[in-house]
Structure 1
Amino acid sequence: MPRRPVIAVAGLACETSSFSPARTLAPAFHPRRGSEIIEKYSFIQAGTALGDAVCWQGSLIGHALPGGVVTRDAFEELTAEILSRLSDISSNSETGIDGLWFDIHGAMCVEGIEDAEAELLRRIRVIVGAETIVSASMDLHGNVSQQLAHQTDLITCYRMAPHEDTMETKERACRHLVEILTSESRERKRPLKAWVQVPILLPGEQTSTRLEPAKGLYQLVPEVEAVPGVLDAAIWVGYVWADEPRNHAVVVVTGWEIDTVATNAKRLAEYFWKVRHDFHFVAPTGSMGDCLDQAFLSRDRPFFISDSGDNPTAGGSGDVTWGLSVVLSRPEFRHNTGPMMIYASIPGPGAVDCMAAAGIGATVTVTAGAEIDNIHHGPLRLTGNVHAIKFGDRDALVEGVLRIGSVFAIITKQRKPYHHESDFTELNLDPRSADIVVVKIGYLEPELFDMAANWMLALTPGGVDQDLARLGHRRICRPMWPFDRKFPHAPNLTPQLIPMSNDPA
């Protein structure tokens, strides 16, 4: 029986805003090690086609909630463990590590390091060697520098925003890797990549694949992938809330024939550039005050409002109090008989401890928010009745609901995204019966989108501000659409052909 190739799994994922004062520490990655990694991904477990075709070995993966820049100490600590575990896997295998699944997001910023994912993979290559086939799976809001493309052999990303194809993408990355390692055609060991930098950098809220032109753009991907000689096609929108030269859109087409991958990469890049004027927000926009005005005028219930500038799933600190301060300043909410509003959420560790100690039904006065990001508004002093308390959430740890007039404000020990109906119902809140629901989010995740009778995107301040001009980018490559509306000449969309770098150092 032939020896099964050994594939190791490693990677760090954290979408990080360089415009947020928050910092991401090592525990935020919730590291999984060894067999814990295999347990996470059913498609590489024993009894599946991919699981049985090769020998999967988990090193370390860490997936942190999006946030502020990762500290250098956190990166070095986690990277050192990844390298140590990969070294052990390699030494325990007769022929070392044949393949690596690089499980990343692609928009991680680390203190003092430029192009963090490329640096992590460079160090990994020193351990596993230049001959190891590396397949990377990424978020379409990640960044693919030329160096990262050089260090990988296969690289792909999500094709949907919201990301309903996360697991499908990861499985595709693994399937391509297994196919290459188990192929009897030795000349196909290392495919070619055609890489194109596209001078566009837009937020996800203008590039959702629910709507045109992103919908049509991403519909071209499977068409290209079906072309003989093409193995994979991918389009990265890039990550707009960090200020590094690698932050821009990218197209990569991977395959076996030079002319084919180059022609099709250029086709995707040129279409992306052609439709740049057509990108727009996924919902009507306005200030928080404008959105509240429209919600009061509308008969649609529940009416959702995205408090977008502090979205914790895009990298916001989660504790900007601007949005909630505007809500609580409105006279419509001052009495219990006012329109029912749910606000999700604001961190307040001391506040939620006080609420838990007082108990449900108690009246308390607490202070919450702005412990990390107080640039836009200070902490809020809140007086209300404790409506609910919940312990044990993975992200929030402890959650409490404080009723202030007709506003049910969710206060958390640590920041948490609210994407699912159960996030509310487990706090004795029914978002379907609310008049208005304000969530710190950008585009609505599927459950919220299906629940909303109507919605608007509030252009609020924070580390992931949708008003890009307010952020103050200084290091991105210019000109860049939409930061620059006039280009001195048409961009060069000629693909760069990239084999894997022969020098892992």
Structure 2
Amino acid sequence: MPQSRTAVARPLIAIAGLGIESSTFSPARTEAPAFHPLCGAGVLTRYPFLAPGTPLPDAAEWRGALVGKALPGGTVTAAAFAGLSDELVGRLAAMPPLDGLWYDIHGAMTVDGVDDAEAVLLARIRATVGPDVIVSTSMDLHGNVSRELAHMSDLITCYRMAPHEDHMETKERAARHLVDLLTTGAPRPVKAWIPVPVLLAGEQTSTRIEPARSVYAAVDDVEATDGVTDAAVWVGYAWADEPRNRAAVVVTGPSEAAVTAGAERLARGFWEARRAFAFVAPTGSLDECLDEALASDARPYFISDTGDNPTAGGAGDVTWGLERVLARPEFKEASGPTVIYASVPGPDAVEAAEKAGVGATVTVTAGAAVDDRHAGPLTMTGVVHTVRHGDRDAETEVVLRVGSVHVIITRLRKPYHHEHDFTDLALDPRGADIVLVKIGYLEPELFDMSVGWKLALTPGGVDQDLVRLGHRRIRRPMFPFDPDMAEPDLTARIIPPSNTPLTGEDE
């Protein structure tokens, strides 16, 4: 039976969390500074809906503990996780007794020697703040939801769009549901959890196209049902190898019958669509994509260098694709088709180009310092086109024109998602013939800019050919690794309230 609670007029709510996608198939390792942690009042500046004058700040007293978000990358070192977790928990321990906690995470963080890191951290948080604190968890839809994470969260939700145009809307929903639960005194919600044995890449499950568009449209229908507070479908994170990595559904609300029916509807919809999921754009080898781009009149023509996508967990320094681009005879002369390539890290190359200055001809070597499994460091001779300082991720960026290819070289790896990422470097992506970006599905600004677009199936830590990556620890059977597997059990598992022990084993 739901446990009665006392309403709190203006609850005290803490905000805490660590977020990253960690590819276990990349040799990279992620250290603590990559999370750019904010503490105390600095945490509140992350969220526009907590700015003064908006409704939620008046409804509760918000306290920042520690929130850190890193670019997707390699496995987090044990020392980094321990240090960040210790500081986060220490800050919570120093706070007055809390009514609620908003746990803002991604859900795909892998830590050396730790499985289900977000659940491990939440267990420490729970031990610190006590069992009576209500926890609302917000996540990326490419996160993973174990039974333990669902158990320790009273409310849990995730994005409903890929690309994640609703990321801030989702966070606000998680915060708002938490405030509503605390201020009304409603019982802890019933949680219906269903693991779905499907593990697909984000590029195959974009909500821009079917079947994901319809799968996620059903979330709104379920949430609108009487007795349901929130509904969520997680695709899971395909480039890590842990038992928790798979799709999942959680529906929460006051009615066990309603959340059960809603969860089972969503889980069946995802499972039944499994064979229909397809890449969000046409695919091909890198050479096939380049051939098609050169033959096409569509300008600018975007090519996604998918295997080393730093926003999915790639090391970002694989030189395999750039090496092949620079070897193409069409691009050998400055008068050839204008190409932009984003990007490759090379701190020594950046330093040499910066020292030589704009307009100088330099020979530099970049890339493959972290992931040299597919190609080695690449030596290039070109003209320094731009030097730019002060980027949050890259720190310093250099553009080197090699023939007709404008190669962006960075001190530290950086994703290129926005038009200003290029125009800030005196590049004109709209006027280019071909723009190659280490990315999967194009982020909204690039998608709107592209006239032609194709996904190049290239090697790296986030290789789109999941079966050849070599997962060994995921729960089997799993689609598409076991394409002819038997029908799974998609009945709803009712997860006990967070202040009630969880018994039995994970499924």
Alignment of 1:43-62 (within 5 A): 43-62=49-68
Alignment of 1:221-300 (within 5 A): 221-300=219-298
Structure 1 equivalent of residue 148 of structure 2: 147
Give the TM-score normalised by structure 2.
Answer: 0.97
Q: 1:421 aligns with which of 410, 419, 422?
A: 419
Deviation at 1:297, TM superposition (A): 1.1
Alpha-carbon distance in 1 for matches of 2:243, 2:284: 30
Alignment of 1:322-341 (within 5 A): 322-341=320-339
Alignment of 1:355-434 (within 5 A): 355-434=353-432
Which consecutive unaligned segments of at least 5 residues does structure 1 have? Answer: none
Structure 2 equivalent of residue 134 of structure 1: 135
Cα distance per residue 1:3-26 (max 9 Å; x no partner) = 521100000001110000000000
Alpha-carbon distance in 2 for matches of 1:110, 1:387: 39
Alpha-carbon distance in 1 for matches of 2:83, 2:166: 31
Deviation at 1:504, TM superposition (A): 7.9
- AA of the residue aligned to 2:277: F
Structure 2 equivalent of residue 496 of structure 1: 493
Deviation at 1:275, TM superposition (A): 1.0
Alpha-carbon distance in 1 for matches of 2:209, 2:83: 41
- AA of the residue aligned to 2:115: E
Structure 1 equivalent of residue 446 of structure 2: 448
Counterpart contact for 1:181–1:189, Cα < 8 Å = no
Cα distance per residue 1:453-491 (max 9 Å; x no partner) = 01100000000000112211111111111111111x210
Cα distance per residue 1:18-51 (max 9 Å; x no partner) = 0000000000000000000112212123332211
Pair 1:182 & 2:183 matched: yes
Alpha-carbon distance in 2 for matches of 1:119, 1:86: 16
Deviation at 1:444, TM superposition (A): 0.3
Give the TM-score normalised by structure 1.
Answer: 0.97
Structure 1 equivalent of residue 119 of structure 2: 118
Q: 1:71 aligns with which of 77, 80, 87?
A: 77
Structure 1 equivalent of residue 475 of structure 2: 477
Which consecutive unaligned segments of at least 5 residues does structure 2 have? Answer: 1-7, 503-507
Structure 2 equivalent of residue 163 of structure 1: 164
Alpha-carbon distance in 2 for matches of 1:189, 1:58: 25
Alpha-carbon distance in 1 for matches of 2:437, 2:227: 45
- AA of the residue aligned to 2:139: M
Alpha-carbon distance in 1 for matches of 2:22, 2:37: 17
Q: Secondary structure at the match of 1:40?
A: coil
Alpha-carbon distance in 1 for matches of 2:229, 2:499: 22
Q: Secondary structure at the match of 2:229?
A: strand
Alpha-carbon distance in 2 for matches of 1:36, 1:492: 45
Counterpart contact for 1:191–1:499, Cα < 8 Å = no
Percentage identity across paired residues of the two chains: 64
Deviation at 1:296, TM superposition (A): 1.0
Cα distance per residue 1:222-266 (max 9 Å; x no partner) = 110000000000000000000001000000000011111001100
Deviation at 1:503, TM superposition (A): 6.0
Structure 2 equivalent of residue 4 of structure 1: 10
Structure 1 equivalent of residue 104 of structure 2: 103
Deviation at 1:111, TM superposition (A): 0.6
Counterpart contact for 1:20–1:463, Cα < 8 Å = yes
- AA of the residue aligned to 1:355: A
RMSD: 1.2
Counterpart contact for 1:153–1:499, Cα < 8 Å = no
Alpha-carbon distance in 2 for matches of 1:469, 1:297: 32
Pair 1:320 & 2:326 matched: no
Counterpart contact for 2:194–2:249, Cα < 8 Å = yes
